[in-house]
């Protein structure tokens, strides 16, 4: 029987809109808006200036510090200007505006032999290629491939759950690029010095499971673990619990329980960087929802404005109400279609009133439904109240900084309270409070 974790929900999957649609390449836009902050950590350091010519694959900005990642141009062209813009997550970043030219000049790295490559070479190549995690947080991948010496890592777990509704990006990668996924995982295992890899996949993907089993027949050190379909099965702590039975304590990381988590898309990017010499310049995304005329799975140049993507998919329907970057549970509502796609983008959803209808907010009913589904055993209503009434020390004491903002509480709330928004507000204020105390 498929394993899982305590709590969670099972919203309507809506994956049938795109699950059988192969990836298409989005035509190159005339203008690219390339943010210098597409990753967790410090913004990349710009190496170019206005008027400079750039080649496809060329490094535009270098990593600035340990937690940072370089940025490469997905097109050949000329830098028109440097601006400040809002990214899909609502954070502000400096960005390079590149006017594309028709020249096909490309700058790439030397392909490396995956059989003879050394561990350090893999990590360095991943760093040079600017690869960031594609599971949501966009953490620089080379850092995750370099666990502290005192942390014994037993498993590299490949997250193939894709538990958010609508999204089928990872599913299509598993179907269309199975060899690259497995080869990328093997490179990650080699880079980390870990002997056992595990692919965790939900049981609502029978075709992908069947294909993976075929390819894994000869792989003695990579296991396939089928998990119960439930949200948020793909969250790190939930995935570790379901796959290994290990509990990740509050405030601790997967390193601390002997695990490294990587996403399916990240594995493909590692393969492309090492074997093909390609930096991470494109994003694999799902464009879906009942409000888009032609749902698709796309390979999109990083820096492409949302408007270009939506137009390529036929535009929005008259009854479209909301556009979300990411999945419907943890994604970010968009108000500016000029915002560009970044490396970790997973989807663009155009939702109708039917898909976004919510219960009108009322007072908390003290029903306990939010507590029953919280996968981290937190008390969402107490977190919400402490945040709302500026009691941030109390919020910290009961674990507000441990919340991963998965949205299961808000989804299950009959009073329609925007619990996640209040928790996000409380987390920002609580973090600022702790920083103030340490200074």
Q: Do 390 and 246 share a structural domain?
A: no
Could you read off the pLDDT of 363-406 as tens digits, one per residue? Answer: 999 999 999 999 999 999 999 999 999 999 999 999 999 999 99
Confirm whether 11 is domain-assigned. no
Does the pLDDT of residue 1 top 60, yes or no?
no
Q: Do 149 and 262 share a structural domain?
A: yes
Q: Do 126 and 241 share a structural domain?
A: yes
Report pLDDT for 137: 78
Q: Average of pLDDT values for 430-439? A: 86
Could you read off the pLDDT of 186-213 as tens digits, one per residue? Answer: 999 999 999 999 999 999 999 999 999 9
Confirm whether 314 is domain-assigned. no
Alpha-carbon torsion angle 330, 399, 40, 332, nearest 10? 20
Does the pLDDT of residue 29 top 80, yes or no?
yes
Confirm whether 422 is domain-assigned. yes
Q: Higher model confidence: residue 124 or residue 136? A: 124
User: How many structural domains comprise the chain?
Assistant: 2
User: Residue 358 burial by CB count (10 A; 0-12/13-18/19+): exposed, middle or buried?
Assistant: exposed
Q: Do 374 and 250 share a structural domain?
A: no
92 contacts 244 by C-beta, under 8 angstroms: no
User: For residue 50, how far is the Cα from the chain centroid?
Assistant: 31
Q: Average of pLDDT values for 68-79? A: 97
Q: Do 373 and 246 share a structural domain?
A: no
Could you read off the pLDDT of 237-269 as tens digits, one per residue? Answer: 999 999 999 999 988 999 999 999 999 999 999
Q: Do 374 and 272 share a structural domain?
A: no
Q: If pLDDT is split at 50, 70 and 90, which confidence band does 2 have?
A: low
Does the pLDDT of residue 135 top 80, yes or no?
no
Could you read off the pLDDT of 282-309 as tens digits, one per residue? Answer: 999 999 999 999 999 999 999 999 999 9
Report pLDDT for 272: 98
* Domain boundary pick from 276, 307, 323: 276
Residue of 160, 162, 175, 190 lying closest to 270 (CA atoms): 190
- CA-CA distance, 141 to 144, in Å (whole number)? 5
* Domain boundary pick from 276, 291, 326: 276
Confirm whether 282 is domain-assigned. no
* Domain boundary pick from 276, 306, 329: 276
Rounded to whole angstroms, what are the CA distances from 435 to 291, 428, 430, 431?
A: 42, 11, 9, 6
Q: Average of pLDDT values for 228-243? A: 94
- CA-CA distance, 278 to 272, in Å (whole number)? 5
Could you read off the pLDDT of 114-126 as tens digits, one per residue? Answer: 999 999 999 999 9
How does 391-421 read in b/e, with b if 16+ C-beta sit within 10 Å?
Answer: ebebbbeebbebbbbbbbbbbbbebebebbe
Could you read off the pLDDT of 296-352 as tens digits, one per residue? Answer: 999 999 999 999 999 999 999 999 999 999 999 999 999 999 999 999 999 999 999
- CA-CA distance, 229 to 210, in Å (whole number)? 16
Q: Average of pLDDT values for 409-415? A: 93
Confirm whether 121 is domain-assigned. yes
Here the CATH number for the domain that contains residue 215 is 3.40.50.11540
Q: Do 233 and 129 share a structural domain?
A: yes
Confirm whether 292 is domain-assigned. no
Domain that holds residue 431: 369-438
- CA-CA distance, 151 to 395, in Å (whole number)? 30
Confirm whether 217 is domain-assigned. yes
Mean pLDDT of the chain: 94
Does the pLDDT of residue 75 top 90, yes or no?
yes
Confirm whether 398 is domain-assigned. yes
Q: Do 240 and 127 share a structural domain?
A: yes
């Amino acid at each position: 029987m498929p394993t899982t974790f305590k709590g969670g929900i099972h919203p309507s999957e809506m994956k049938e809109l795109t699950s059988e649609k192969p990836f298409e390449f989005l035509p190159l836009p005339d203008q690219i808006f390339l943010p210098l902050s597409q990753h967790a950590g410090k913004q990349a350091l710009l190496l170019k200036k206005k008027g400079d010519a750039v080649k496809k694959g060329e490094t535009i900005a270098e990593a600035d510090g340990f937690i940072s990642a370089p940025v490469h141009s997905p097109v050949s062209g000329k830098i028109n200007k440097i601006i400040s813009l809002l990214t899909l997550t609502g954070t502000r970043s400096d960005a390079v505006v590149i006017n594309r030219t028709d020249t096909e000049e490309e700058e790439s790295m030397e392909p490396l032999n995956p059989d003879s490559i050394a561990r350090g070479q893999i990590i360095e190549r991943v760093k040079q290629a600017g690869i960031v995690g594609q599971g949501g947080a966009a953490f620089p991948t080379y850092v995750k491939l370099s666990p502290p010496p005192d942390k014994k890592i037993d498993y590299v777990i490949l997250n193939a759950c894709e538990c958010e509704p609508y999204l089928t990006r990872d599913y299509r990668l598993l179907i269309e690029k199975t060899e690259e996924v497995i080869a990328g995982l093997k490179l990650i295992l080699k880079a980390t010095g870990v002997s056992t890899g595990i692919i965790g996949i939900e049981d609502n993907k029978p075709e992908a499971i069947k294909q993976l089993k075929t390819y894994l027949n000869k792989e003695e050190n990579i296991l396939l673990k089928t998990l119960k379909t439930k949200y948020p099965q793909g969250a790190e702590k939930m995935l570790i619990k379901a796959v290994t039975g290990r509990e990740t304590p509050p405030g601790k990381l997967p390193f601390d329980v002997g695990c490294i988590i990587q996403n399916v898309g990240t594995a493909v990017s590692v393969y492309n960087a090492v074997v093909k010499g390609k930096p991470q310049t494109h994003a694999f995304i799902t464009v879906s929802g009942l409000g888009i005329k032609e749902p698709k799975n796309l390979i999109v140049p990083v820096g492409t404005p949302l408007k270009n993507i939506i137009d390529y998919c036929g535009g929005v329907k008259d009854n479209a109400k909301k556009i979300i970057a990411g999945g419907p549970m943890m994604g970010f509502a968009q108000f500016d279609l000029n915002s560009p796609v970044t490396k970790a983008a997973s989807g663009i959803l155009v939702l109708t009133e039917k898909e976004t209808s919510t219960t009108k907010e009322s007072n908390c009913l003290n029903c306990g439904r939010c507590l029953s589904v919280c996968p981290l055993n937190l008390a969402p209503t107490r977190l919400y109240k402490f945040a709302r009434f500026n009691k941030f020390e109390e919020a910290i004491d009961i674990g507000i900084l441990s919340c991963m903002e998965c949205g299961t509480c808000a989804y299950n709330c009959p009073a329609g309270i925007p619990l996640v928004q209040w928790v996000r507000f409380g987390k920002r204020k609580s973090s600022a409070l702790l920083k103030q105390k340490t200074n």
